[in-house]
Amino acid sequence: MSQIYRELIRLIENEQPAALATLVSTSGSSPQHTGAKVIFLPDGRIIGTIGGGCLEAEARRVGLDCLRNKSCALFDLRLDDDFGWDDGLICGGRVSIFINPQPERSAESYRAAIAATESRNPAALCTIVKGDAARLGETFLLEQDSADQDFSLRAAAEAVLEAGREKTIELDSGESVYIEPILPRPTLLIAGAGHVGASLCQIGSMCGFQTVIVDDRPTFANKERMPFADRVEVADIPSFLRDYPIDPETYVVIVTRGHRHDAHCLRECIHSNAKYVGMIGSKRKICVIYEEMLRDGLATPEELRRVHSPLGFDIGAKEVGEIAVSIASELVAVRRGVPLDSVSTLQYAPSFIKEGVECSA
């Protein structure tokens, strides 16, 4: 979300015409989910995507018309064999697309949404997609203290924030409003800036995580090597983890350069309320570290069972990039609430964690 709005602000500041297209509702099977966005430029270029293929081509055609006419449009497309036979887009679903050819009218609202994301303050971005022609495309930010808005709209915005999903509602006034939750980006906190850590940092950034990576080696932890990271720190890794404000939207991945370093890092975050804690390593390494932590009273079996180690999906990864993809896939699955028992993970629970007997690995 924030990247599209940043691009939109850049275009607005450069006084470049642009049309913002948003999937405001979907039903059945569709190539993208509600909330997907694309920017159409007068010269035919696009930024973002709502699914590609004939769906996006049709939206682009309408979007360019909207740019020429300076008028908004809300239209439906049914993705069946009559529409998408030529390029294989026979999803069987239906989508509603809203196109706003004058996003500059709501520039301040987009800036406020970006600021809310950066300050980690939940809010709801609302756009009028049906109703009075003069108000179509009007976008405003509802924050927690926005008491001046329609009660039903505020209630709907609260429900959208709680669910974390976009929704289009109809007000008593007859207007339809698309509500988008503005939530803090989840943080991917990577302990170790070696080859795997650096690759994961790049993929994590592409997947929408706020990436923070730490290492005690300046030659590894630097912005020149990882320009895609939101934050790069040179520090004692366990101390950094201990002091970092880990919250339920933090995903901790431990990929340092050695067994001892990983063990020290795990000790610092095992009691945290992180959404995900993962540690790279062999089964033997896992057994040794877990046994030590149990023996020293540093963790309970329940706490160790929630550690993803080895971390990632079992995709046969061998190369650094493949390993990073494996880990990132598991992070996305956890973020999206995919039951991990429905996929093949690499997570290993030693027998003494499961049954209270000594490790034999």
Residue 232 is predicted with a pLDDT of 98
Q: Average pLDDT by consecutive 10-residue portion of the chain (361 residues)?
A: 88 96 85 89 93 87 95 87 47 84 96 90 94 93 75 89 90 91 94 97 95 97 96 97 96 93 96 96 92 94 94 94 96 92 85 60 41
One-letter-per-residue 3-state SS of the chain? CHHHHHHHHHHHHCCCCCEEEEEEEEECCCCCCCCCEEEECCCCCEEECCCCHHHHHHHHHHHHHHHHHCCCEEEEEECCHHHHCCCCCCCCCEEEEEEECCHHHHHHHHHHHHHHHHCCCCEEEEEEEECCCCCCCCEEEECCCCCCCCHHHHHHHHHHHHHCCCEEEECCCCCEEEEEEECCCCEEEEECCCHHHHHHHHHHHHCCCEEEEEECCCCCCCCCCCCCCCEEEECCHHHHHHHCCCCCCEEEEECCCCHHHHHHHHHHHCCCCCCEEEECCCHHHHHHHHHHHHHCCCCCHHHHHCEECCCCECCCCCCHHHHHHHHHHHHHHHHCCCCHHHCCECCCCCHHHHHCCCCCC
Assigned domain for 360 exists: no
My answer on whether 129 and 36 are in the same domain is yes
**Same domain for 97 and 8:** yes
Flag whether 361 is in a domain: no
* Residues 232, 320 within the same domain: yes
Quote the pLDDT of residue 87: 47
Structural domain for 91, as ranges:
1-183
| pTM, to two decimals | 0.76
Domains: count for the chain: 2
- Any domain includes 37: yes
